[in-house]
């Protein structure tokens, strides 16, 4: 029973930012999620890399600033 | 926790946190590098033990200032990282002259003094030892960074006191899975030196400090005996054939285990035994076996009997007057390990690894369970006190209600009727089985073959499997029929000791009685013949609703009116006919009986 990529991303974000999964929509970003600061951003990258077994480059790191962007970048890495 | 993903730890930690109602246990971590990921990784394993851990991380590189602010925490952890004492120290240091090196040394020493002074009243301070391994592990010649680490560590050794302990980072680095303790990417971008994997190893390593500080250090180490303290099964292999010395490869492992137990005992940890064996047999080993290292004076409590281990362990805790959560129990059997883990979850249960050479390593990995922040002469006195408190006679107890557990095992018993293909095994069982053996009649293969061939007798054997595996052919029953008087006599009823405790014998008896009923027999006669080894089955037939007709010291005679038989109908044991499994069974012509 493979979870869809979107669901897995939301689970990771929910765990890292300590918000419930339903609060994470397409626009979820540091503007809408209060706890999303630079330290949590580091945790997010680490958790996403572990979950999807990818390595996120430095330039991508600074771009991963919303749920939508995360999905796009993971797609680029071949995640479905 | 090693197996959990970082995001899973975050999620689970939050969940447990909201459910814990006890007072928060405040842990402060002060650091000169970025270590924020340590928070949940430290909290989670402690919260899983019921300690409401709450980790706060001081401001970056503000160790001295924050040490004053956080002095009321339960525990303060100091992460003074060598390479960031000065930004980029790991490479700058090689270019410094002696005066500059001295300056750094003295500056750091006085910072340590100031921090520890501020934390004087804090109940426990853990300060990391300095390590240069991150950057120097390929050096042939010792460099300045290594020299500085050595000098600072020497200084730290003098700081150990009632409330100050050192944490050896180098041990942690060795323990990190895959060896990746450093995150160079994040070190260069954000001064976050360590990986999640490292923090997991760190949390695991310091756990004993915190458990002990909370009064949760384990007090007693209880061992099973067969294949746990020695190689072999005492009841089957005999006193002379169990191995626990360096004369044999396997024996050497058990010799090491016993020595480790002795060392723990010297430190004040109580040693106990919980084994399914005849009490006299185990006592004989403890008192007279030349290779046994654990002797009477080391063993505080000895529950070697035929009761179930759940009851025994409960009694051990009671008689030692300590909680179940103070016990560590070691056993080789998956059955026992899972039973105790399920029924007595407060006990930490360790299973002897399949690869025997990993057994000592497994014990070493768990040595922290016993760590005690304070060791005094009082601890040695305590052991004496416990010994006097303990009753040494074995007490027969009812089985606890373990039916739920037995049901979960998916027990299956396969019956083999007059099966010539297993004659060698059946003969062997009649010769080797001593304990669960009602009449102890020894038969050669030819004897078994005769029983099978004679129309008036039937040979039943069974094999047992459960979800852990197949125990093989482990039971035997030989019945002789008197066709004239329409009676049956149970000549042999025995079972291998490795499947005791699962009520298999009752399922077997139900099956046999059903088979006998089909032959229109009304009366069954049998007897229990006493030997030095089969005391535990003295009342087996009574429990099977047979009537005792006469008894003397060495023999108990029974009779059963088949209509009075009370079957157990154990619905958690599946019984199948060997024939259905494709085994070639010699046809037993039942119609003639």
Band of residue B386 on the pLDDT scale cut at 50, 70, 90 = low
| Segment B471-495, tens digit of pLDDT | 889 999 999 999 888 899 999 999 9
* Three-class SS state of A16: helix
For residue B34, the chain A residue with the least C-alpha distance is: A39
For B569: left if phi > 0, alpha if psi spans -120 to 50, otherwise beta; the answer is: left
Q: What is the pLDDT of residue B82?
A: 94
Average pLDDT of the segment spanning B419-443:
91
Nearest to B418 by CA among B392, B393, B448, B395: B448
A50 with B6: Cβ contact below 8 A: yes
Of A14-28, B175-189, B402-416, the range with the lowest mean pLDDT is B402-416
Nearest to B241 by CA among B249, B253, B232, B251: B232
Q: What is the pLDDT of residue A3?
A: 77
Structure tokens at B37: 């990921």
Q: What are phi and psi of B254, to 5 degrees?
A: -70, -30
Q: Locate the DSSP E strands across B107-159.
A: 124-128
Can you tell me the distance from the alpha carbon of B351 to that of B347, in angstroms, rounded to the nearest whole number?
Answer: 13
Q: What is the pLDDT of residue B64?
A: 87
Band of residue B401 on the pLDDT scale cut at 50, 70, 90 = low
pLDDT at B584 over 90: no
Q: What is the pLDDT of residue A27?
A: 86
Q: What is the pLDDT of residue B162?
A: 82
CA angle B521, B527, B529 (to 5 degrees): 160
Can you tell me the distance from the alpha carbon of B541 to that of B566, in angstroms, rounded to the nearest whole number?
Answer: 12
Q: What is the pLDDT of residue B22?
A: 86
Look up tokens 């009752």; give the residue: B506
Which of A18, A39, A46 is facing B6, going by the closest CB pair? Answer: A46
Nearest to B16 by CA among B54, B68, B64, B57: B54
Which of B10, B185, B192 is facing A16, going by the closest CB pair? Answer: B10
* Three-class SS state of B164: strand
Structure tokens at B480: 């002789």
**B10 interaction partners in chain A (CB closer than 8 Å):** 15-16, 18, 43, 47
* Three-class SS state of A76: helix
Q: How far is CA B321 from CA B257, B314, B378, B387, in A?
A: 26, 10, 17, 11
Interface test with A, best of B6, B60, B192 (most A CBs within 10 A): B6
CA angle B56, B58, B63 (to 5 degrees): 140
If contacts are CB pairs under 8 Å, which of residues 7-26 in chain B contact chain A? 7-8, 10-11, 14
Question: What is the arrangement of strands in the sheet containing B457-466, beginning at the earlier edge strand?
Answer: B547-551, B555-561, B523-529, B487-495, B469-482, B457-466, B411-417, B573-577
**B6 interaction partners in chain A (CB closer than 8 Å):** 43, 46-47, 50
The rounded Cα B300 to chain-centroid distance in angstroms is 19
pLDDT at B142 over 70: yes
Q: Which helix (H) or strand (E) holds B8?
A: helix B6-19
Structure tokens at B349: 């249960």
**A11 interaction partners in chain B (CB closer than 8 Å):** 7, 11
pLDDT at B50 over 50: yes
**B199 interaction partners in chain A (CB closer than 8 Å):** none
* Three-class SS state of B194: strand
The ipTM assigned to this model is 0.93
Asked if B190 is an interface residue toward chain A (Cβ–Cβ < 8 A), one would say yes
pLDDT at B569 over 90: no
Structure tokens at B55: 């980790």
Residue B160 burial (10 A CB sphere; 0-12, 13-18, 19+): exposed
Residues of A near B (Cβ–Cβ under 8 Å) read 11-12, 14-16, 18, 38-39, 42-43, 46-47, 50-51, 58
Q: Which helix (H) or strand (E) holds B415?
A: strand B411-417
Of B360-364, B394-398, B464-468, B524-528, the range with the lowest mean pLDDT is B394-398
Q: What is the pLDDT of residue B384?
A: 55
Can you tell me the distance from the alpha carbon of B331 to that of B349, in angstroms, rounded to the nearest whole number?
Answer: 8
Pairing between strand B457-466 and B547-551?
unpaired
Q: What is the pLDDT of residue B407?
A: 80
Nearest to B430 by CA among B496, B352, B349: B496
Please list, in sequence order, all residues whose beta carbon lies within 8 angstroms of the beta carbon of residue B238, skipping any fewer than 6 positions away. none
Can you tell me the distance from the alpha carbon of B512 to that of B533, in angstroms, rounded to the nearest whole number?
Answer: 25
Which of A11, A38, A39 is facing B7, going by the closest CB pair? Answer: A11
Q: What is the pLDDT of residue B579?
A: 64
Please list, in sequence order, all residues whose beta carbon lies within 8 angstroms of the beta carbon of residue B393, skipping any fewer than 6 positions away. none
pTM value is 0.72
Can you tell me the distance from the alpha carbon of B7 to that of A35, in angstroms, rounded to the nearest whole number?
Answer: 16
Pairing between strand B411-417 and B573-577?
parallel
Residue B270 burial (10 A CB sphere; 0-12, 13-18, 19+): buried
Percent of chain B with pLDDT over 90: 70
Pairing between strand B555-561 and B523-529?
antiparallel
A50 with B190: Cβ contact below 8 A: no
Structure tokens at A24: 């994470």
The rounded Cα B539 to chain-centroid distance in angstroms is 32
């Amino acid at each position: 029973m493979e979870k869809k990529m979107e669901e897995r991303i939301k689970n990771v974000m929910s765990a890292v930012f300590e918000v419930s999964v339903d609060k994470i929509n397409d626009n979820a970003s540091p503007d809408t999620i209060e706890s999303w600061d630079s330290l949590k951003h580091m945790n997010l990258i680490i958790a996403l890399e572990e979950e999807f077994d990818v390595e996120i480059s430095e330039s991508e790191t600074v771009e991963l600033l919303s749920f939508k962007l995360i999905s796009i970048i993971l797609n680029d890495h071949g995640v479905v | 926790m090693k197996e959990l993903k970082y995001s899973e730890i975050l999620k689970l930690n939050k969940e447990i946190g909201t459910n814990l109602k006890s007072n928060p246990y405040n842990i402060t971590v002060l650091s000169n590098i970025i270590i924020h990921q340590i928070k949940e990784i430290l909290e989670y394993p402690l919260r899983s033990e019921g300690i409401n851990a709450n980790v706060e991380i001081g401001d970056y590189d503000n160790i001295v200032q924050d040490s004053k602010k956080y002095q009321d925490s339960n525990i303060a952890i100091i992460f003074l990282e060598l390479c960031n004492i000065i930004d980029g120290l790991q490479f700058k240091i090689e270019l410094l002259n002696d005066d500059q090196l001295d300056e750094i040394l003295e500056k750091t020493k006085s910072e340590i003094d100031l921090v520890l002074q501020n934390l004087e009243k804090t109940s426990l301070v853990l300060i990391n030892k300095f390590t240069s391994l991150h950057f120097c592990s390929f050096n042939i010649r010792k460099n300045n960074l290594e020299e500085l680490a050595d000098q600072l560590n020497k200084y730290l050794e003098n700081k150990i006191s009632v409330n100050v302990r050192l944490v050896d980072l180098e041990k942690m680095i060795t323990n990190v899975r895959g060896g990746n303790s450093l995150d160079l990417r994040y070190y260069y971008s954000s001064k976050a030196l360590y990986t999640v994997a490292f923090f997991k190893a760190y949390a695991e390593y310091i756990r004993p400090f915190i458990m002990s500080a909370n009064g949760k250090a384990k007090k007693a180490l209880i061992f099973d005996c067969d294949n746990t303290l020695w190689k072999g099964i005492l009841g089957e292999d005999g006193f002379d054939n169990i191995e626990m010395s360096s004369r044999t490869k396997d024996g050497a492992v058990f010799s090491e285990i016993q020595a480790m137990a002795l060392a723990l005992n010297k430190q004040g940890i109580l040693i106990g035994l919980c084994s399914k064996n005849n009490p006299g047999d185990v006592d004989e080993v403890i008192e007279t076996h030349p290779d046994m290292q654990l002797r009477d004076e080391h063993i505080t409590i000895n529950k070697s009997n035929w009761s179930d281990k759940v009851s025994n362990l409960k009694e051990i805790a009671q008689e030692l007057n300590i909680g179940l959560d103070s016990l560590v129990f070691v056993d080789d059997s998956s059955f026992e390990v899972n039973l105790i883990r399920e029924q007595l979850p407060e006990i930490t249960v360790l299973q002897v690894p399949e690869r025997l050479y990993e057994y000592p390593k497994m014990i070493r990995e768990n040595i922290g369970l016993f760590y005690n922040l304070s060791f005094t002469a009082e601890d040695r006195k305590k052991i004496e006190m416990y010994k006097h408190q303990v009753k040494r006679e074995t007490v027969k107890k009812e089985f606890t209600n373990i039916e739920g557990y037995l049901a979960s095992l998916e027990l299956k018993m396969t019956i083999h009727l007059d099966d010539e293909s297993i004659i060698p095994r059946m003969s062997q069982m009649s010769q080797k089985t001593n304990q669960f053996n009602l009449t102890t009649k020894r038969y050669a293969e030819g004897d078994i073959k005769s029983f099978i061939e004679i129309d008036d007798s039937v040979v039943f054997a069974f094999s047992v499997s459960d979800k852990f595996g197949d125990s093989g052919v482990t039971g035997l029953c030989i019945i002789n029929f008197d066709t004239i008087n329409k009676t049956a006599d149970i000549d042999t009823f025995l079972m291998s000791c490795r499947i005791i405790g699962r009520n298999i014998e009752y399922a077997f008896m139900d099956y046999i009685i059903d088979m006998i009923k089909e032959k229109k027999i009304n009366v069954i006669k049998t007897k229990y013949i006493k030997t030095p080894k089969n005391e535990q089955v003295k009342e087996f037939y009574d429990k099977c609703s047979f009537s005792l007709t006469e008894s003397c010291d060495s023999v108990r005679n029974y009779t059963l009116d088949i209509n009075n038989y009370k079957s157990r109908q154990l619905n958690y044991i599946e019984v199948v006919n060997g024939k259905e499994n494709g085994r070639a069974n010699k046809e037993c012509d039942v119609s003639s009986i």
